């Protein structure tokens, strides 16, 4: 069976949820994060610009790691540093294939933009956003596509 969009999202959220410093995970548009009752630190995955190129699908995601700062923001640097380390752990795990779980896709680690943000949604949340590309090779396979015979 080919790797699909849902499998990739589920894998990323499972890896994120297994991190010992992450309390909650979620998926969807970033504005949806405040509609949830989430316990921070939280990892949130949202869609970027996916593309098909040369028979390979590249799934582009924004991986947010955010936590709440104190009201006076006196711990902002510590929160950002912790979020950065959590995100690096997760990105590293996504990009690592071992004998127990060989993925049918891989993380493009050549260029992963990282953006720091503060006062998320006019609140006390701060964090880090990683823009990751997941590459699924050989996505186009017309031999196994579920078509009836074409006249």
CATH of the domain at 91: 3.30.2000
Q: Give long-range contacts, CB 8 A cutoff, 24+ apart: 111-117.
A: 114/84, 114/87, 116/80, 116/84, 117/66
pLDDT in tens, 92-130: 998 876 555 556 788 988 889 999 998 877 778 899 999
Query: Is the Cβ–Cβ distance between 39 and 23 less than 8 Å?
Result: yes
Query: Is the Cβ–Cβ distance between 109 and 127 less than 8 Å?
Result: no
Look at residue 143 and tell me if it is in a domain.
no
Angle at the Cα of 32 (from 26 to 37), degrees rounded to 5?
A: 65
pLDDT in tens, 29-42: 988 887 778 889 99
Longest dimension (CA), the chain: 70
Q: What is the mean pLDDT of the chain?
A: 87
Look at residue 151 and tell me if it is in a domain.
no
Model confidence at 131: pLDDT above 90:
yes
Look at residue 149 and tell me if it is in a domain.
no
Number of domains in the chain: 1
pTM of the complete model: 0.87
Q: What is the extent of the structural domain holding 54?
A: 5-136
What distance in Å separates the CA atoms of residue 148 and residue 91, rounded to the nearest whole number? 41
């Amino acid at each position: 069976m080919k790797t699909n969009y849902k499998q990739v999202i589920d894998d990323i959220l499972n890896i994120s949820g297994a991190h010992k410093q992450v309390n909650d995970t979620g998926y969807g548009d970033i504005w949806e994060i405040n509609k949830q009752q989430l316990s921070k630190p939280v990892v949130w995955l949202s869609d970027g610009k996916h593309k098909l190129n040369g028979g390979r699908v590249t799934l582009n995601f924004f991986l947010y790691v955010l936590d709440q700062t104190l009201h006076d923001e006196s711990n902002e640097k510590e929160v950002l540093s912790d979020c950065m380390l959590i995100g690096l752990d997760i990105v590293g795990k996504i990009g690592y294939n071992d004998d127990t779980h060989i993925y049918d896709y891989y993380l493009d680690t050549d260029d992963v933009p990282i953006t720091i943000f503060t006062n998320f949604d006019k609140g006390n949340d701060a964090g880090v956003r990683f823009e990751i590309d997941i590459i699924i090779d050989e996505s186009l396979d017309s031999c196994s596509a579920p078509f009836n015979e074409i006249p």
